[in-house]
Structures are given as structure tokens and as C-alpha cells.
Amino acid sequence: MATRTAAQRRAEAAAAYDAYIAECPTRQLLDRISDKWVSLVVNALAGGPLRYGELARVVASISQKMLTQTLRNLERDGLVSRTVTPSVPVRVDYELTPLGVGLLPVMQALKTWAEANMDDVLAARATYDSGIN
Amino acid sequence: MATRTAAQRRAEAAAAYDAYIAECPTRQLLDRISDKWVSLVVNALAGGPLRYGELARVVASISQKMLTQTLRNLERDGLVSRTVTPSVPVRVDYELTPLGVGLLPVMQALKTWAEANMDDVLAARATYDSGIN
DNA sequence: CTGAATCCCGTCCGATACTG
DNA sequence: CAGTATCGGACGGGATTCAG
């Protein structure tokens, strides 16, 4: 058939467009730092190296699984370094790499805007919700 | 029993800690802008008001459902304004509010860091992955 | 044209149990 | 101490269909 559905047309446009946004550095950065636990772990490590167990205690609400997963991702991206000391028992330290440290100012900028403007957002949200009910 | 499980101890700590991070402005901001579509829609609106259909075309890969949902969220948060012109057919324009405009520099900061450093991250990722296989 | 409602599948993530 | 393995519920989000 000659005619195409809306879905097909979207798919064609998306083929080119999505390829772009998927590789968009900003998109990738957002995907990384917006991870529920990444910002917390990075912040915990901002003060210096920590052991696995210490991280688990500092970021108290994180599960073992997510802590490990988060650390693996950060290590994979070169934002955090992992150092194993083969003693008994084994000791593993995690530390921000220079690249990871470079992320701190960015997070700080986010924090600054958030603290300055989230009140307005929350107020808008309350107003909006009250109009609904 | 007097002893508590690890989960229980985590829950106690989390009760206080999570209450904090859930209300943490930075956390909330991250939750908002990290939404898959928010950054794209906001960027599309950075150049000026757009109609619903125009947005759908600009952000080609977005589905109707997610476009509407994203716009509702942004409207709720006071970042985007919605203007209905009761003609036939109906016309609806979306526009960034001053609050929404204030978000642009923040996104720009993110973009700047990403463009400067994501190459390193990608390189680290490639190295890490090659070590695995 | 703009949008709401429904179905449904994939992914995330928490709990739990086991290993070196 | 520092993980790994597996299961299952919750949720995001796409396709489709209906409505004003």
C-alpha cells in the first residue's frame, strides 16, 4: 500500500531522530545521574574513599543489590575506582576518579537551582492539584 | 524477639533518611528533568510556543500518550503554560513559563559538561567492557 | 485537532538465600 | 566482608481505540 500509518511515519522519523538523541551526550549524562542511587553514592564518596560496607551504612536505604549494581555502573563509566586489598577479610575501597570529581560541580549547579526554585514548583503543583479535586 | 534483621535495621535508618531524600529538592529536580521526554519537550519549547501537533512533529518519536502525560506534568509543576483557543478545530498552545525558562541554563550546564566529558566516559566503558569479554 | 482510556509487555528493583 | 543468583511485584511507556 502507498499510504502509511501515523505509526509508520513516526517510526521513520524516529529512526533518524532517536538515533541522534540516544547518542546525545546530554541524554546519556541524564540517564546516568538520574539513576535513583547514583547521586547518593557519588555524594557519599565526595568526602573521600569508602569501603563497601561503609557505603551501605551511609546510604542506609539502599539494598545490597542496587549498591553493587550502582558501583559497577560507575566503575564502568570511569567515575569511580575500585581497589581490592587482598587481606582477610577482603577489603574493597571505592573512590571518585578525577572524572567523577568533575561531576560534583554539575550536581552542585543542579542542587542550587533546585533549592532556589523547587518551592515554586511545589506551590504550582499544589495549586494545580487543588483545581482538580 | 530482641534481635533485628538487617532489613529491619535498614528500614529504621531509612525511615529518617529516606524521608529526607524524598523531599530533597535536588532529588525532585532530578526526577523531573531525567524523565525521558521532559528534556526534549522543554528544548522544543525553548524557541517559543508550540501547538500540540507541532510538538508531536518536532519530538517525532514520542507517542501521543507520553506527550500528553509529559505536558500535564510540566504544566502541573508550573514549568509550562497551556492555552486553549476555542476555535474549530480547537487550538492548544504550550509555552515555557518564566520558571520553565529558568530551567534552560541548568540544562545547558548539563549539556556543557556532557559534551566535554562523555567521550571519556564512553572510552572508559569500552575499556571496561573489553576487559570482561 | 487534542486528548482520554485500555491493554499489555518489558524493565527495574527489593527481598531472600547462597558463596568465597 | 563483599559480593552473586534468583524470584516476583510494581511501574513505565508503547500501540490501539474511543471521544469532544
Residue B45 has what pLDDT? 96
The answer to whether the beta carbons of residues A27 and A49 sit under 8 Å apart is no
Which among A27, A65, A118, A63 is positioned nearest to B122, based on CA atoms?
A27
Which among A110, A111, A22, A25 is positioned nearest to B105, based on CA atoms?
A110
Closest nucleotide to the alpha carbon of B37, via C1': D13
Confidence of residue B19 (pLDDT cuts 50, 70, 90): low
* Range scoring the smallest mean pLDDT among A89-98, B16-25, B79-88, B103-112: B16-25
Query: Where on the phi/psi map is residue B90: left (φ > 0), alpha (ψ -120 to 50), or beta?
Result: beta
Across the interface, whether the CB atoms of A25 and B111 are under 8 A apart is answered yes
Identify residue A66 by its one-letter amino acid code.
Answer: M
Instruction: Measure, in angstroms, how far nucleotide C7 C1' is from residue B65 CA.
Output: 14
Q: Is the peptide bond before A105 cis (omega within 30 degrees of 0)?
A: no
Alpha-helical (H) ranges within A24-97 are 25-33, 38-45, 52-58, 64-76
Q: State pLDDT tens for residues B58-102.
A: 998 899 999 999 999 999 999 999 999 999 899 999 999 999 999
Q: State pLDDT tens for residues A20-52.
A: 676 788 888 998 998 989 999 999 999 999 999
Q: Does A76 touch chain B (CB under 8 A)?
A: yes
Q: Which grid cell sits at B125?
A: 566503558
Which segments within chain A are labelled E, that is strand? Answer: 50-51, 80-85, 91-96
Q: State pLDDT tens for residues A49-101.
A: 999 999 999 998 899 999 999 999 999 999 999 999 999 889 999 999 999 99
Which among A62, A24, A25, A22 is positioned nearest to A42, based on CA atoms?
A62
Taken in order of first residue, the domains within chain B and their CATH numbers are 25-129 (1.10.10.10)
- Model pTM? 0.86
**Residue B48 CA to its chain's centroid (Å):** 19
| B17 or B1, higher pLDDT | B17
Instruction: Determine how many CB atoms are found less than 10 A away from the CB of residue A92.
Output: 15
Across the interface, whether the CB atoms of A120 and B99 are under 8 A apart is answered yes
Q: Does B71 touch chain A (CB under 8 A)?
A: no
Which among B77, B66, B76, B65 is positioned nearest to B25, based on CA atoms?
B77
Residue A88 has what pLDDT? 87
